[in-house]
Chains A and B, each alone.
Chain A
Amino acid sequence: MDMPKTGEFAHIGKSVVIKGELSGSEDLYIDGTVEGTIQLRGNNLVIGPNGHVHADVSTKVVVIQGKLEGNIRATERVELRKSAVIVGDIVTQRIAMEDGAYLKGKVEIQRETANPSSPPAPKPELQVEARSAAAGSTPVTKQ
């Protein structure tokens, strides 16, 4: 997956460093540094080639081109590109790996069935409770 268009994904750029709990209900592209946890249930996460994530990740789909240290729980699938470096465990329904991807950890396939009575998806929003290096030590909340 190439870098998505800005309008489709929330974007964390190469120079941005975020430490904290990152959650939301829209797709996210990370090409910077994130430490903490990432919760995007029902949405997609892309870690770009410059991305460096040190966090446990919970999403629908995750595509990794950069580095991730942490555990991944993806309800639908995980894609590891040839430049991916993963240290952590992966639990997902499907996994696709390109030759060259590096993994140190476990891969476990868990089939999950969709819940037809699940409520409709809420409006997109991205919440970041973090200490952003760009903003100094002031906590940032965006809705």
Chain B
Amino acid sequence: MASVTHSFMKLFRGPSTVPGQGVRSVSTTQRLTRRSSGLGAVSRTLQSEEPICVLDIGSTSAANIRYLTQRGHKIYSEDLLEASTDPALITKDEQGQIILDSRRFLADNLVYPAAQFDIVLCWNLADYMPESLVKPVVARLWSTIKPGGMLLAFFHTREAGPDAPCYRYHIVDNDILEMQHVEARRDLRRGPTGALHTSIEKSFRLQRVFNNRHVENLFRDFGSIKFFLTRDNIREVLVVR
């Protein structure tokens, strides 16, 4: 599968995460509110009286679970960014470069029957996920979405720098999101005596900035793609299988 690396893609050097035995994100209590046209488009399906299946691959969000279950829908929650910090995934490619083992990652994550979900909430995952996982994850997501199902993803625009803050997204209304800054990650390591030590690492680092062509290429197996441009440095993308 072709790598996402491209001569005109903006890449930020440096690992997204530091290996550790377990990672729990720490978020601030302060939340920012933003209107989301992409969420608004998805919400038309969420207002359906028929129960639908939603997959949320962002940080576990009580608000999202509440919002969706109150409407009679099923929600599957799986924090893929946190799962990508598993040190057991670290391996080397043919050139000896350290990468994450996408096969092992997909053996443990996103294990669902084909065509299960009506909606997938991807949030900002592709911008922060290690490169070796991005395309395999998108391919797996495609297979789990029902024909006609939708995927909502957020991408930073060119103006975003490598220290662009990583946010968790909480649905509060049909087209309103609360953004909660992931400030630090609590990294658990087991020392030589077996005792657990906690170290505070910096938050997830922006790995790359996709341009429109790269986004289209990333979702080329989907039937249609729609971009929503916003005033903050975020591009919302809604794709339909």
Interface size class of B (residues with CB under 8 A): 10 to 19
A103 B77 Cβ-Cβ under 8 A: yes
Q: B13-31 interface mask toward A, CB cutoff 8 Å, 1 = contact, 0 = none?
A: 0000000000010010000
Number of residues on chain A facing chain B (CB within 8 A): 16
Interface stretch of the complex, out of B67-75, B199-207, B232-240: B67-75
A107 B62 Cβ-Cβ under 8 A: no
Residues of A within 8 Å of B77, CB to CB, are: 103-107
Min Cβ gap A21→B in Å is 27
Tell me the dominant secondary structure on chain A's binding face.
strand
Residues of A within 8 Å of B70, CB to CB, are: 109
Contacts A107-B69, A109-B69: A98 and B76 contacting too (C-beta < 8 A)? no
A95–B60 Cα gap in the complex (Å)?
Answer: 14
* Contact among B62, B74, B79 for A104, CB-based, below 8 A: B79
Q: B78-98 interface mask toward A, CB cutoff 8 Å, 1 = contact, 0 = none?
A: 110010000000000000000
Q: B4 in the interface, Cβ–Cβ < 8 Å?
A: no
Contacts A97-B62, A99-B27, A99-B62: A106 and B79 contacting too (C-beta < 8 A)? no
Q: B53-74 interface mask toward A, CB cutoff 8 Å, 1 = contact, 0 = none?
A: 0000000101001100110101
Q: A102 in the interface, Cβ–Cβ < 8 Å?
A: yes
A99–B182 Cα gap in the complex (Å)?
Answer: 12
* Contact among A99, A101, A103, A106 for B74, CB-based, below 8 A: A106
A: which residues have CB within 8 A of B?
Answer: 80, 95-109
